[in-house]
Structure 1
Amino acid sequence: MISVTLSKIADVLGAEHRGADLTLDTVITDTRKVTPGCLFVALKGERFDAHDFADKAKANGAGALLVSRPLDIDLPQVIVKDTRQAFGQLAAWVRMQVPARVVALTGSSGKTSVKEMTAAILSQCGNTLYTAGNLTTTSACR
């Protein structure tokens, strides 16, 4: 991700910003992968609510939180209606800030293997960014 301030993130998302105005360059959704100073996005799923793990994100070094309700944790917070939707909105905004070509893969099987092969081929031509591993996503069409 590009470096961006929490106040800019709040502005992009039309959200409330509470606390210090940090500059961030990493966004994480899994407390086990938190890096020092990152923005932790508290996603809600059918069987979990990452808001319940925000204290663990702080203990692991998160610098700020993207949440759907204010939390009683001493970290700067950007408060939105829906963290999953805001996460996508933020990603779309970041994408528009970076002048890069995008390759998208779709299908029911084999995407991760093809992604890895495509990244290996394209990295021979220049700087290449790609997702590490396999990221499960949801679709508005489901």
Structure 2
Amino acid sequence: MIQVSLSQLAQILGGELVGSDASITAVSTDTRQIGEGTLFIALKGERFDAHDFCETARENGAMALLVSRHLPVALPQVVVADTHAALGQLGAWVKATLSEQHGLTTLALTGSCGKTTVKEMVAAILPKKARSWRQR
């Protein structure tokens, strides 16, 4: 993740910043994995609503919240219509920013057979030409 201010994040995501501006350096959807500078993203599913865990996120050190409704939690909040969609937008923005700033190239492998083998072959070849990373 790259450093971004909450006001910039609100602009990128078409949301509203409620509270003071700050800079985040990480995001998490899991309250157990919150560290310094973390934005907690409250996702909502069929059987859960992470908005219920925003106070726990604050207690665990979250710097701010990305929510779909303003909550009575003592943290700055970026309020958006849909946190799932906002997470995707944030990922796309980070990828585009890294690509622009550092010449990042993304390679994706799809299909039903041979992905792991091809991934490992490509991962063995690429470091000879450039820095690379692969999912384990």
TM-score (normalizing by structure 1): 0.80
User: 1:128: which partner in 2?
Assistant: 132
AA in 2 matched with 1:41: I
SS in 2 for 1:98: helix
RMSD of equivalent CA atoms: 2.2
Unaligned runs of 5+ in 2: none
TM-score (normalizing by structure 2): 0.83
Count of residues paired in the alignment: 131
- Confirm whether residue 105 of structure 1 aligns to residue 109 of structure 2: yes
AA in 1 matched with 2:36: P
CA contact 1:36–1:60 (8 Å) conserved in 2: no
Unaligned runs of 5+ in 1: 134-142
* Structure-1 separation of matches of 2:118 and 2:51: 31
Distance 1:47 1:116, change over 3 A: farther
Q: Which moved more, 1:46-55 or 1:122-131?
A: 122-131
How far the C-alpha of 1:126 sits from its partner, in A, is 3.9
The sequence identity of aligned pairs, in percent, is 51
Distance 1:98 1:50, change over 3 A: same
User: 1:84: which partner in 2?
Assistant: 84
Larger radius of gyration: 2
AA in 1 matched with 2:109: L
SS in 1 for 2:65: strand
